[in-house]
Structure 1
């Protein structure tokens, strides 16, 4: 029998999926295992974080939450079936808890995005927690509430928590895609925007980089009186009498509290106002823009999404190409010169100055 390379590869993938399902069932029969089901955008990126955990028996990519039976990848990706790409995890609760799996889930996604995940748009790429019993439902609600309270992302968490319905395993070539197609997977992952977002919100050991949980007493010790007044009390420093209004050096400006990168000297311009002014910020995930009706004026306040600090205000009288003017207090910022970016861990921004 003659088989081409494509047929052999497909046959091998089918065998691999069959073995995954068989071993998962066999282990479930031998031990008191449980299921956990999460949707986090492209399921290729959701397998590896869970498969690497001690106590996880198997991770299967598939579809859930829709109205069509036995959907195909082509149908789901078209957004017509109501399903979301998801992973179904079989785990041993004696080795790893469902709460731990929830922690890992939150660290893989942008739970504030209701229109998809990163480069993948549409409801088929929505985030979701699909609980299998009431204890999982309660744990998921508590976990989500804790995430919202910590304000890690500075925006509402929109991930839905719903009862698990029928889970349909995806086609064999989608299973363990990161193992079977490592080059294509790495290329997709690096271009998807997922890692860039996650790196800005979580450290390698899974802790939030956001510092808004600092106590008021700790912030008073960390900040100067002016920095505290500006960032925590929505104050404004004096124009033409602050650290960066006339700074012409190359580099980036970071949040004085959390260290999150906010603005670049490449977008700084001389506005004549006496405060640092920028035509844009570095990333939407780091900035919150909220309506400000104080002092009988209607303005747009600019806040740091990481520390919930007051930064300044946004106006529409800036120069091209954006026409915007982010008028920011120097006291809310720390300047990192171009030559120090790598040393301080901001080397990904060196490309701005080439």
Structure 2
């Protein structure tokens, strides 16, 4: 038999208390294999709670309502079935081991500097916000069954719709890369700063490019075929790992480096910045933030002037062909082939050279782009 019913509404503070009392089995034998979330993604869940976003349902085996010895050898009141990563992130926040992301912004009070705050600090300085997390009432579904196979089938049914979203083929490949990309596009850089169209998941495409470049630690061809090969490579790697391995190895490490670079790059751009209207330019800006963070404070003003210079270049070529700055012509021409490794490398080289000249030998002294 299988019965799924709503649990009596209880706030997160109540569930945390059950956890502290040892009444929740977070890793029952029938828990499906799931990779550990990155620290950034776990903290992003707390971000969602503080900014009044909803979170998906949790599913737990309720042994208070239905005691089944075969499924409850640990003699707990509850066992997590679906939502383990989310539940653990919440408990870690209450424990003080999971601070808010450095880039956290409270939408109702964006001027408050709350990045890296722990639960204790939040409770001390902004108790109303702490109570918002404590008092949040999640939707928890009780699963009543005496058949472990029914739980396994429930796993499949709960997650079978994840790939059937109408997204690009790569998003449905499985393995680490699509999952990581779905995390990366939650970063504020993608959520608030980019300006290009995302109706056909172009932001996923860009995030995959950044992940590939970071994983290889250098510019690569980023055409669709190469991105697909990268996703397949990661899937093969994951398939070869032992069942008890939960981390994402080198792919997880690359993901974490992407977060760190985006944390540095994002503050340099405005919300829905016109300079981020073209996804094809962003890998070059990303690599500059990674390799030359010392130049970042001047990047936005420089790109503003570079945009004007390119418009003047185009207009000048029409009037006086062949008299324009050849290096700037080269940069503009290569910008039309955004996915070629050589284009990325040469655009980066030109960008750094001209940005250095713009900044000048003494910070604050600027020259024409």
Taking structure 2 as the reference length, the TM-score comes to 0.25
More strand by share: 1
Higher relative contact order (CA 8 A, sep 6+): 2
Greater percentage in helix: 2
